[in-house]
Structure 1
Amino acid sequence: MITYVFPGQGVQKKGMGAEVFDEFPELIAIADRVLGYSIKEICLENPEGKLSLTQYTQPAIFIVNALLYLKKCKETGVTPDFVAGHSLGEYNALFAAKAFDFETGVKLVKKRGELMGQVTGGGMAAVIGLTGEEVFSVLKEKNLNKIDIANYNSPFQVVIAGPKEEVGKAKSIFETIEKVKMVSLLTVSGAFHSRYMEEASIEFGTMLDTISFSEIKIPVIANVNARTYKQADIKKNLIWQMNHSVQWVDTIRYLMGLGEMTFEEVGAGRVLTGMIKKIQSEATPLMIKKEDVETSKTSEFTENSKPPKEVRFLADTLGSEAFRSRYHLKYAYIAGAMYRGISSKELVVKAGKAGMLAFYGSGGLTLDTIEQDLQFIKQELSGKGAYGCNFLHNPNYPQKEEKLARLLIKNRVSVIEASAFMGITQALILYKAAGIVEDSFGTMKCLNRIIAKVSRPEVAEAFLSPAPERMVKKLLEEEKITIKQAQELKRIPMADDICIESDSGGHTDCGVAFALIPSIRRLRDNMMEQYNFTEKISIGAAGGIGTPEAAAASLALGADFIVTGSINQCSVEAGTSDVVKDILAQMNVQDTEYSPAGDMFEYGAKVQVLKKGVFFPARANKLYDLYIHHNSIDEIDEKTKNQIQEKYFKRSFESVFLELKQHYNEAMIEKADSNPKYKMALIFKWYFHYANQLAISGNTESKVDYQVYTGPALGAFNQWVLNSELKDWRKRHVDEIGKMLLEATADYLNDFYEQSN
């Protein structure tokens, strides 16, 4: 078999393409029209040194490579069995495979070159003498957290990328290592194939939305995963290629593993020929299963073929592709909501711009505040990222739930995180129904999506079912929904996706992921079959996820996405006080405790909170114990009452109740006056709000009363980053936390499966 390989940026030189320009005048005319300048002049004369500028280099190399390929085909009549390209060269491989025509290719690389040319302040360096694993280990050990691996060019040549100063610092460090033969700085303006190309890749994706790709006729091996392109993945791969490593070593190893393979370099230069010879002499083939090859070119396989020795995982391929597509995400990753705006508007925007989904923490906030913050989020993201809003169950005040539902409908929030629900409520149905519309073809669609956070199978079953018929009927009678909406509600589940919440910060049933996830996944499958739902409901995992090992375990259990919470509370964007963040950054896995939930005090619901350095858990549990064993405050002994008023509340019960009168409606106050136990509950619940406010505001005089929702995941995260710059929470950003966690999870899984094989 034969593979044609196409070189990328770096092979440009004055005079390239001289032998083919006159042979394809029609194509040159097309190129000049698209580019707005003479490509022949750029290549042959290099006016003002333009050939070294990325916006000119990339179209020039693509065009010369393409013409030389066409010339070779015309002269030899040979069609290669496979094609591959290094970075920019992948566009030539796709052109050869007829995924797009010449004009489209020129348009694509013109835009790509312009976007990459605009990226400044970055640098790249080739490290020669170390393997990719060794380079990664050095980066990790030396806390070079701002450096990414950009290219795996050969087994002992790895290119790193990052901010220019950081690359210079890394160069100095690598040069002290005995095995390193040379570190060479590359002449580039940006940190290509790294996280710093994120914005450029997003903008490039907008252009790709306008392109229609043809059926691939020759198997193309992708840079991002060293596997055969799937037709549906063309756009995704081209976006990812800009901000992910070029897996050139594994690309060649993959092709070597397919059978006896000859490689021919087509284009301007012979740099790939040298790389391939090194890979062939220094690396072993990847042995591939038959089903790993998408095309019919499997004649060289035998029944003795072994399974792959490696399983390649990437941060943005973890989890369910369907889930990522449903919410237009790059990562199957959610930053879950945190009470009273701790998952702030800034946190939501930061995560959204990085291709993640974050939920705004609306619980405990006024409707005016929620609306203002949602408008801020919508304006900041402006279609460039997903976002959602938390919808916290309010069992005592269903009217508040409905008001929140109407606010979300009014502001066109298309996804909510339903949390702390024990069943379906009318407000949830109202929100779901408002998203049901009829498209131009007469098909009913639901635009409003619910991700339900559950920790009990019976609650999961309620969300995996259609809306309760009696509630739908009532809403219809009250003319809050239409007949068509009511009919459609019978055919769809209440939740579009389920997040299984194991033991975690905030509300928790102390669930165990190893038991919950498999059970609810099976329940999901049964419910989908029972109701014949057409769109698969994804199952996510939350609770205890603060390290790569925990994330990997969740994915291994079958999670389609992961949700983090506690680890995001100790980030720059979290809407709590610096004092709290200072404390949280020092906590370990044993520094949490369970206490009553203030919003569900009477029900005995539990939340997990910070124990280290505070008295809140002990005091909150004391209040609940008193509530259970007494019918009124008057029944409590005087010593205990004085202790609560002086030490806990720092004010009298009477002054607390006077304050409550200003916030609760007349009916509730009348009920409290006539029901001493209810009055005791209201007064005790005040302490929970008070303690929460102390923490968020950072009141240093009452630190012992801080109520801080958190789980042991943050303690595990703190230990994971203990020897890095992220030990300081001021260097923790919610998007970087997510990316780092996912990338490390992918690395962990790669290592695990490689060792297993």
Structure 2
Amino acid sequence: MKALIFPGQGAQFRGMGRDLFDAYPEAAEQASDILGYDLPRLCLHDPHRVLNDTEYTQPALFVVGALAHRRWREENGDAAGYLAGHSLGEYCALHAAGAFDFATGVRLVQRRGALMARARGGGMVAVVGVDGDRLAALLAEGAFTTLTVANHNTPTQHVVSGDAETIGALETHLEDRKVRCVRLKVSGAFHSPLMRPAQEEFAAFLRDFRLDDPRLPVIANATARPYPAGRTADLLTRQITSPVRWTESVHHLLDLGVNDFVELGGTVVGRLVDQIRTAPRPAPAAPPPAPRADEAQPRPAGPAPGPRAADAARAATELGSAVFRRRLGLRYAYAAGGMYRGIASPRMVIALARRGMLGILGTGGTPHREIEEGLRTIRAALGPDRPFGVNFLAHHDDPAAERAMADLLLRQDVRIVEASAFIRMTPALVLYRARGLRRGPDGTPVCDHRVVAKVSRPEVARAFMAPAPDAVLDRLVRDGDLDAHRAELARQVPMSHDITVEADSGGHTDGGISTVMMPAMHRLRQEAQHRHGYAEPICLGLAGGLGTPEAVAAAFMLGADYVLTGSVNQCTVEAGTSDAVKDMLQDIDIHDTEYAPAGDMFEMGAKVQVLRKGVFFPTRANKLFSLYSHYDGLDELPARTRDLLERTYFRRTLDEVWEDTRAHLRSRGRHDDLARAEANPKLRMALVFRWYFAHTAQLALNGRDDRTNYQVHTGPALGSFNQWVKGTDLERWRERHVDDIGVRLLEGAAEHIGAMCRGWHGPAPAAPRPVPRTEPAPTGAA
């Protein structure tokens, strides 16, 4: 199989493109008109000695690469299976794959080159003859924590980027240790966080262009994987601050079966490919034995002890239970929970599903018409086969709403739901589960509706591990909602085969400790499997506190069959909350959260974990619960307290809030609840106070000015994640994507497990860092 590759900055030379300009004079003239100068004259003669200046180099290389591809296509047709380009060369690859036309490409690289040329105070140095581990050790030895490995050109050639003064100190440090290094002639710290101002300007510039999906697979520098649908502009923006993962990109192409690399527009990256192909690759970890279908306790199929970083990508796919991955159709034993009010958005679900992870659409507090629209969006993007989930939230005070949600899920043929906040098996949930049962060829039940249950208490876990209650099944049959055949099958399977043990987390939480909960849940699973003799095993996942590779590794070492993340996903590009909230969340630490009453279970005293830093919500929410506990109605509140609530909490009178609440209950058909509240001052006070919780959540989602009242559900895992990514390409939320976070957490976890295994027989391993994925003369500054 053939791949076309294109060089980046560093491949330019005076005289380049002569035959191409002669063959395609109209294209050369078009490019010159757009650029405002004679491009052939620049490339062929460089009379003003500016060809090596970034703002001129980049358009010149793009035009030469694009025309070289035009000639190759005329001679060979569309005979390539894949395309890739090194830094600037990625624009040539995207143009060749049909993502944008020639004129658009010229305009894009002209702007990119100008913005990058404006960068000052930075520098880059190529380090030759050492591998990635040795380079990391050298950087750590000299405490060069602000520098970034910007290009991974070959296994033994890397480019380090950062501020000019520190780059100079690194040169001295390397020369003292007899390590060959070459200072590049650039003024900016390309492919590092220092390029963020240029990145932000370029992102705004891209909004004026329509960039299509490539028609052929193009390997992205930022991910070393093909461009996914809908991400062309996004990944080009990320590329400015993200490292160039050229070695990994070539390895991926080789793994895909590419055996012929054709370089167009230069000869530099072809030599890099030759070095990558001939360099030894670490032996892959041995795959785990395939689990038996009747295995009662699926064990985590983690990586073999001691996988090196190069094996982490493969090892990440082997973490957790193969049973879980197989039955849900996933590549990774990884899920992202369905965050309230659509924060877990369709865009988030799509990104995760395309990467082989389980994304769960957030539905709590979302109108059904919006849920259905979200499902249409997801299915249009994913097609019929890629799995995804939908959150099914318990409604403790509104069984009709719960039944309406079950009907929607059945009507829309949703195959996977995340059951949240259930404390008992309700008719609506049992109906969804049982309607998806049928008898297989061997007579055993086949489950077409999967329930991924979130539990934090043993009695709830026990209920999900048991079959549906007989009384509920009998009632559904009696009411004509379920046939007797499916009811009988429901008595032979657990309510959920996949149960997520939720330790202390953002949002609703019992504050559980994972090291206490998981062993207890394992014993419950053993008892359930033994008592009921299920043909299909129950899997246990773990959620809560998963913000770093070490935490994810600990979850798998505790015996988790899969992991489910939450807080780390709400501060990403795909999260359906406001930019204002994301700006606040990206800087929190592990101590910046607090517990507050849960609005949907206010009277019960249930707790949620929320953002504390920069907001008054947790203090005010706890004050409201204290008032509810001490007074029997709004009329008993002291005048000063009532005035405080109306001025600072509600920003309107309590009477106005009650009128809004009455209108809401009427619109939902909850006339009995309204009648009870009219007759019961205590209940009326609870409903008025609940209004504050709905209002503050909506303020945060909309990003309105009243930030002090924002209610933001989040946990300390996000704080630990923020510390882990500090100083890397993921430090700011606009660089964070849910699928990339998932892969990095899993790969880091696999690497950490291997490092710990090695550390037990030697020095303790260093904590994993989110090293950006990103290498005969040094090349690829931009």
Could you tell me the TM-score, scaled by structure 1's length?
0.66
Q: Which residue of 2 aligns with 1:671?
A: 676
What is the CA distance between 1:590 and its match in structure 2? 0.7
Q: Which residue of 1 aligns with 2:745?
A: 741
Q: Secondary structure at the match of 1:562?
A: strand
Residue 255 of structure 2: which of 223, 241, 248 is its match? 241
Q: Which residue of 2 aligns with 1:435?
A: 436
Give runs of aligned pairs for residues 579-728 of structure 1, distance below 5 A. Answer: 579-664=580-665, 665-700=670-705, 702-728=706-732
Amino acid at match of 2:642: K
Q: Secondary structure at the match of 1:607?
A: strand
List alignment gaps of at least 5 residues for structure 2.
5-70, 83-92, 100-104, 106-125, 185-216, 230-246, 259-273, 291-303, 762-782
Matched, 1:316 2:317: yes
Contact 2:339 2:361 in 1 (8 A): yes
What is the CA distance between 1:358 and its match in structure 2? 1.2
Give runs of aligned pairs for residues 43-442 of structure 1, distance below 5 A. Answer: 129-135=129-135, 157=156, 178=175, 191=219, 195-198=223-226, 241-242=255-256, 313=312, 314-383=315-384, 385-438=386-439
Contact 2:419 2:452 in 1 (8 A): yes
| Residues matched between the structures, number | 565
Q: Distance in 1 between matches of 2:661 and 2:278?
A: 78
Go from structure 1 to structure 2 and tell me whether the alpha carbon gap of 1:567 and 1:240 turns closer, same or farther (over 3 Å shift). farther
What is the CA distance between 1:441 and its match in structure 2? 7.4
Give runs of aligned pairs for residues 381-530 of structure 1, distance below 5 A. Answer: 381-383=382-384, 385-438=386-439, 444-530=445-531
Q: Deviations over 1:393-446 (max 9, x none)?
A: 110001111110110111111101111111111111111112113467776421
Q: Distance in 2 between matches of 1:684 and 1:742?
A: 41
Contact 1:344 1:574 in 2 (8 A): yes
Give runs of aligned pairs for residues 543-558 of structure 1, distance below 5 A. Answer: 543-558=544-559
Amino acid at match of 2:680: N
Q: Deviations over 1:728-755 (max 9, x none)?
A: 1111111122122222222222222122
Q: Distance in 2 between matches of 1:54 and 1:410?
A: 47
Q: Distance in 2 between matches of 1:290 and 1:332?
A: 15
What is the CA distance between 1:195 and its match in structure 2? 3.8
Percentage of pairs with the same residue: 39
What is the CA distance between 1:557 and its match in structure 2? 0.8
Contact 2:541 2:561 in 1 (8 A): yes
Q: Secondary structure at the match of 1:609?
A: strand
Contact 1:350 1:734 in 2 (8 A): yes
Go from structure 1 to structure 2 and tell me whether the alpha carbon gap of 1:731 and 1:309 turns closer, same or farther (over 3 Å shift). closer
Q: Distance in 1 between matches of 2:578 and 2:455?
A: 29
Q: Which residue of 1 aligns with 2:47?
A: none
What is the CA distance between 1:493 and its match in structure 2? 0.4
What is the CA distance between 1:538 and its match in structure 2? 1.4
Q: Distance in 2 between matches of 1:391 and 1:578?
A: 26
Q: Distance in 1 between matches of 2:387 and 2:354?
A: 8
Q: Distance in 1 between matches of 2:381 and 2:416?
A: 17
Q: Distance in 1 between matches of 2:467 and 2:289?
A: 39
Q: Deviations over 1:553-601 (max 9, x none)?
A: 1111111111111111111111111111111112111111111100011
Q: Distance in 2 between matches of 1:361 and 1:173?
A: 49
Amino acid at match of 2:411: K
Contact 1:390 1:419 in 2 (8 A): yes
Contact 1:192 1:242 in 2 (8 A): no
Contact 1:505 1:711 in 2 (8 A): yes
Q: Distance in 1 between matches of 2:168 and 2:441?
A: 62
Q: Distance in 2 between matches of 1:364 and 1:756?
A: 48
Q: Distance in 2 between matches of 1:424 and 1:243?
A: 50
Contact 1:419 1:452 in 2 (8 A): yes
Q: Distance in 2 between matches of 1:699 and 1:290?
A: 51
Q: Secondary structure at the match of 1:727?
A: coil
Amino acid at match of 2:710: Y
Q: Distance in 1 between matches of 2:131 and 2:719?
A: 33
Amino acid at match of 2:676: K
Q: Secondary structure at the match of 1:726?
A: coil
Amino acid at match of 2:743: K
Go from structure 1 to structure 2 and tell me whether the alpha carbon gap of 1:308 and 1:439 turns closer, same or farther (over 3 Å shift). closer
List alignment gaps of at least 5 residues for structure 1.
1-6, 11-47, 60-113, 202-222, 225-236, 245-269, 294-306
Contact 1:192 1:243 in 2 (8 A): no
What is the CA distance between 1:725 and its match in structure 2? 2.9
Higher RCO (CA-CA < 8 Å; seq separation 6+): 2
What is the CA distance between 1:383 and its match in structure 2? 3.7
Q: Which residue of 2 aligns with 1:64?
A: none
Go from structure 1 to structure 2 and tell me whether the alpha carbon gap of 1:486 and 1:429 turns closer, same or farther (over 3 Å shift). same
Q: Secondary structure at the match of 1:498?
A: strand
Could you tell me the TM-score, scaled by structure 2's length?
0.64
Q: Distance in 1 between matches of 2:423 and 2:374?
A: 28
Contact 1:343 1:360 in 2 (8 A): yes
Go from structure 1 to structure 2 and tell me whether the alpha carbon gap of 1:57 and 1:722 turns closer, same or farther (over 3 Å shift). closer
What is the CA distance between 1:58 and its match in structure 2? 9.4
Amino acid at match of 1:508: T
Q: Distance in 2 between matches of 1:623 and 1:563?
A: 32
Contact 1:498 1:538 in 2 (8 A): yes
Go from structure 1 to structure 2 and tell me whether the alpha carbon gap of 1:136 and 1:562 turns closer, same or farther (over 3 Å shift). farther
What is the CA distance between 1:131 and its match in structure 2? 2.6
Go from structure 1 to structure 2 and tell me whether the alpha carbon gap of 1:118 and 1:752 turns closer, same or farther (over 3 Å shift). farther
Amino acid at match of 1:735: D
Go from structure 1 to structure 2 and tell me whether the alpha carbon gap of 1:193 and 1:587 turns closer, same or farther (over 3 Å shift). closer
Q: Secondary structure at the match of 1:526?
A: helix
Go from structure 1 to structure 2 and tell me whether the alpha carbon gap of 1:620 and 1:243 turns closer, same or farther (over 3 Å shift). farther
Amino acid at match of 2:389: G
Contact 1:497 1:537 in 2 (8 A): yes
Amino acid at match of 1:401: E
Across the aligned residues of Structure 1 and Structure 2, the Cα RMSD in angstroms comes to: 4.4
Q: Which residue of 1 aligns with 2:575?
A: 574
Contact 1:193 1:242 in 2 (8 A): no
What is the CA distance between 1:661 and its match in structure 2? 1.6
Amino acid at match of 1:650: R
Contact 1:433 1:489 in 2 (8 A): yes
Q: Distance in 2 between matches of 1:290 and 1:455?
A: 33
Go from structure 1 to structure 2 and tell me whether the alpha carbon gap of 1:502 and 1:638 turns closer, same or farther (over 3 Å shift). same
